[in-house]
Structure 1
Amino acid sequence: MPRTTTLECSGCPPFRALTFDALGLIKVVEARHKNRQLPQVVERWGDPQSSKCVTAVSIIDRNSHPLLAVARTNNQIEILCPVNGDTHATISDANDLDEDNNIIGLHLFAKQNLELTSRHCSLLTCTTKGTASIRSIEFDDTSSETSCIGSSETWNVCSGGNISCCKVDRNEKFALFGGKGVEINIWDLDNTTKIWNSKPPPKDSLGIFTPTWFTSATFLMKDDHRKFVAGTNNHQVRLYDISAQRRPVFSFDFRETPIKALAEDVDGYSIYVGNGSGDMASIDIRTGKLLGCFSGKCSGSIRSIVRHPELPVIASCGLDSYLRLWDTKTRQLLSAVFLKQHIMHVLFDSNFVLEGTDKEQTTTEFKVSKEVEASPLKRKKSSKNKEHMLDGRERKKISRQSKERRMSEAQEIEGKTHGLGRKLKLVTQK
């Protein structure tokens, strides 16, 4: 039975998102109304097969010739069109990999030259055992098979352990890798050389050393690859600055289950954290202060968090089979869509625009409407309320005066009684 929420969903602005589940299906979720109605599944690509579970995704989100790369557990990489789901190329690494060495990291390089007759893309992949490679691919629109694989460069990012997180910075010049038994290391992609390696924190006050196990990581700022945030399996969030030191600059614990997903905000200092028990929160990484938790706890492990680049909307998905949309400012649930399978990844199509509408106008209208809803209502006091307030003040004044009068009368009676008692005492003595 799907989990239902008791929170009232106010609806979403027009958006388009792609979800990737454990059976290899790609579902397109859209909200097509300006009056913020609930989103729906409008398309479904692929056939359900457990051997095609999606392990990593990457998208080149642009107006002309967008591309989508999908890595699966059968060690196949598909290059798709994110608009209609057409397959441009299929790359198979099944001969070199096994079931325990899947592709865990995937990135499409957006900075490239495009032609009309043939298309070209560069792809970074990383496996669980630490084999990273950058390959150049050319394909035709009329063929679904790879026509030519250009130059390829392969190297090893770790000598032992398993890689579980891989991230490329916005400028696409540096990449970080980390995992179970593997400290975070940053590589220069132009020269494929390692420029930095993290150092584990020291033992605690009890002399206990926590083994290294990174589960997720993200770069913090858009134009600065030196600062990044990493989540660990022992529910710890760490901030690193490679220009300062090798150990974490700042670290704190979040709840009591492993960190499963991290996403940076556009402001450059806020992050969104999701863990294995369905808790999700916004945190100021400069101080480690909890800005607030998202209302409406998920019932399964969160596996992916994505911030919309323009709208104040964030999407989360996980093992409870729900795609949830949240407001980044109020942290309230905007909508929830039940998708039947375990959702492993989610991506936004930021260039989605409704027919006959302006993208900037829609974004501005949604931001203004949220500000109006968030602003407190101030009501003008009516004359009737003022009269009631005056009557109340007069009543208090009258009651206070009557109380003082009763106290004075009681003191006067007590004084008279005391004087009469003294006179009777003198008479009896005589």
Structure 2
Amino acid sequence: MPRTTTLECSGCPPLRALTFDALGLIKVVEARDVQRGVPQVVERWGDPESAKCVTAVSMIDRSSHPLLAVARKNNRIDVLSPINGDVQATISDAHDLNIISEENNIVGLHLFAKQNLELASRDCTLLSCTTKGNASIRSVEFADSSTGSSCIDSPKTWNVCSGGNILCSKVDGNENFALFGGKGVEINIWDLKNFTKIWNSKSPPKDSLGIFTPTWFTSATFLMKDDHRKFVAGTNSHQVRLYDISAQRRPVLSFDFRETSIKALAEDIDGYSIYVGNGSGDMASFDIRTGKMLGCFSGKCSGSIRSIVRHPDLPVVASSGLDSYLRLWDIKTRQLLSAVFLKQPVMHVLFDSNFIVNGPCKEQTQPEIMVSEEVEVSPLKRKKTSRNKEHMIDGSERKKRSKQSKDRKNSEENDGHENIASRDKKSKSASKKKNKSPIPGL
């Protein structure tokens, strides 16, 4: 039997999350209650197909002209709107990067945010990287309403590794540097302006027993948006390593977490806290300055955690994985706020920080969800109230009957005492009369 949590969920603040599953579906999850609400799936984009499994995602989260890029298992990249799901452009890497087998999937994807919103509304620039280390940067101009076709410039390609498989890729907050790492590939950082490698990590030495741990990075993230020198990486040997490229090539701090491989990492906005998820469903937060665990998140996931995302404004962190659940946690108490079952394994999750509850489209769809909730909940309440009423009626009747029986007993006892007292009085009066009567012969 899978291990699942039995904790009561208190609900989460109003938020909007986008989930991407193994069948290529994009599901929009929203919590619309102002105080504490239960998140539900309000929209679903795409058709289920195993070849469209989502392997990497990236989103430009802004109030005007937001964009979402989705890389799929069939080596296709869709650029769409995260508001309504309309596809703006479609990119295929099958001919550009000589992708022959399915083992060379896109594992790294990043949309570059533009400062000029007018240009951002008409085109975008994205970075992609495959398992074999084929990286490329290209610009895409969206299709016009008149022509109906999008223009894609010739990509700038380079190779980030000579051997092994790339499993993790990340771009810093200033979008000037990118890191790559994987199985048999040490973490290396590239300058995206000059397309040159500026730093390469070095594997730790052998331990006291002479055992060497092979290189196998599974996830990585930068600690701060404005500093590309410090980053954290998770390994298949359940290790979390902190690197500082200005100090040395080997990790400056390393610690273990449980006994299974690290599958997901996420940084906090404070710059020193991280969230770690592994292959057995364990999730915890650490202070990366000391390597001490701040605490584990209450509850147990029944599958491997594949994605962890921190909300940029709310004290909420989301996790998803192979158990098909989207879980929302409170950062301060590390308690489970809500869990949504999405039917398919969830590979990635993203937050939309510009979600507003009082929008016009949200108010129209809100009554329908409230009606469905009342229909599902009302029968249970009715059954419970009817049973309670029956129990209350039975209890009141029993009390009445017991009171009546007690009253009868008390009345009978009182009657018996009155009869005895009357008999005593009669006998005493009769004896007095006999004493007062004259005695014959005197």
| Residue 108 of structure 1, CA deviation | 0.1
In the alignment, the residues of structure 2 paired with residue 116 and residue 133 of structure 1 have an alpha-carbon distance, to the nearest angstrom, of: 21
Instruction: Please report the TM-score for the alignment, with normalisation by the length of structure 2.
Output: 0.78
Deviation at 1:114, TM superposition (A): 3.9
Find the aligned partners of 2:241 and 2:126 in 1 and give their Cα distance: 28
CA distance in 2, matches of 1:110, 1:310: 19
Partner Cα separation in structure 1 for residue 236 and residue 53 of structure 2: 23
Distance 2:39 2:135 in 1: 38
Partner of 1:51: 51
2:239 — aligned with what? 236
1:378-417 pair list within 5 angstroms: none
Which of 111, 123, 126 is the aligned partner of 2:126?
A: 123
Question: How far has the Cα of 1:355 moved from its partner?
Answer: 1.0
Indicate the residue corresponding to 2:282 in structure 1: 279
Q: What amino acid does structure 2 have at the position aligned with 1:115?
A: E
Deviation, 1:30, is: 0.1
Q: Does 1:168 align with 2:171?
A: yes
CA separation in 2, counterparts of 1:282 and 1:117?
36
Cα distance in structure 2, aligned partners of 1:2 and 1:257: 17
Q: Is contact 1:90-1:145 (8 Å) kept?
A: no
Aligned to 2:106: 103
RMSD: 1.8
Aligned to 2:263: 260
- Once residues 276 and 64 of structure 1 are traced to their aligned partners in structure 2, the CA distance between those partners, rounded to angstroms, is 37
Tell me which amino acid in the other structure corresponds to 1:234: S
> 1:46-195 alignment to 2 at 5 Å?
46-95=46-95, 96-97=98-99, 98-115=101-118, 119-140=122-143, 142=145, 147-195=150-198
Code of the aligned partner of 2:300: K
Equivalent residue for 1:35?
35
- Residue 91 of structure 1 and its aligned partner are, at CA, apart by 0.5
CA contact (8 A) 2:141 2:152 kept: yes
SS at match of 1:225: strand
The answer for the alignment partner of 2:339 in structure 1 is 336
Give the letter for the 2:237 counterpart: N
Amino acid at match of 1:36: R
Tell me, yes or no, if structure 1 residue 5 matches structure 2 residue 9: no
Contact residue 4 and residue 299 of structure 2 kept, 8 A: no
Distance 1:153 1:47 in 2: 32
Shift of 1:3: 6.9
Cα drift, residue 39 of structure 1: 0.5
Which runs of no fewer than 5 residues in structure 2 stay unpaired? Answer: 361-442
TM-score, normalised with respect to structure 1: 0.81
1:295–1:331: 8 Å Cα contact kept in structure 2? yes
Q: Report the 3-state secondary structure (helix = DSSP H, G, I; strand = E; otherwise coil) of the residue aligned with 1:172.
A: coil
SS at match of 1:115: helix
- Taking structure 1 as reference, are residues 2 and 250 closer, same or farther at Cα in structure 2, changes over 3 Å only? closer
Offset, 1:113: 3.2
* Equivalent-residue separation in structure 1 for 2:170 and 2:142 (angstroms): 25
Taking the aligned partners of 2:184 and 2:299, their CA distance within structure 1 comes to 34
**Structure 2 match to 1:302:** 305
Identity %: 83
CA offsets per residue over residues 3-62 of structure 1, 9 Å max, x none?
A: 753101110100000000000000000001112111000000000000000000000000
Task: Report if the CA contact (8 A) 2:114-2:120 is conserved.
Answer: no
1:140 shift after superposition = 2.5
Q: Secondary structure at the match of 1:51?
A: helix
Which string of whole-angstrom CA distances, capped at 9 and with x for unpartnered residues, describes residues 205-240 of structure 1?
A: 111111000000000112110000000000000000
CA contact (8 A) 1:122 1:135 kept: yes
- The aligned counterpart of 1:404 is none
The number of residue pairs the alignment matches comes to 357
The structure with the larger Rg is: 2
Aligned to 2:386: none
- AA aligned opposite 1:233: N
| CA displacement at 1:152 relative to structure 2 | 2.1
**In the aligned structure 2, how far is the partner of 1:41 from the partner of 1:2?**
24
- Tell me, what secondary structure is at the counterpart of 2:8? coil
State the partner residue of 1:423: none
1:142 offset after TM fit, Å?
Answer: 3.1
Amino acid aligned to 2:47: D
Q: 1:259 to 1:143 in 2, by over 3 A?
A: farther
The aligned residue for residue 227 of structure 2 is: 224
Relative to structure 1, is the Cα distance of residues 116 and 247 closer, same or farther in structure 2, using a 3 angstrom cutoff? closer
Structure 1 runs not aligned, ≥5 long: 358-430
Contact conserved, 1:112 with 1:121, CA < 8 A, in 2?
no
CA distance in 2, matches of 1:143, 1:38: 43
CA drift at 1:141: 5.1
**Which residue identity is paired with 1:52?**
K
Q: Which residue of 2 aligns with 1:393?
A: none
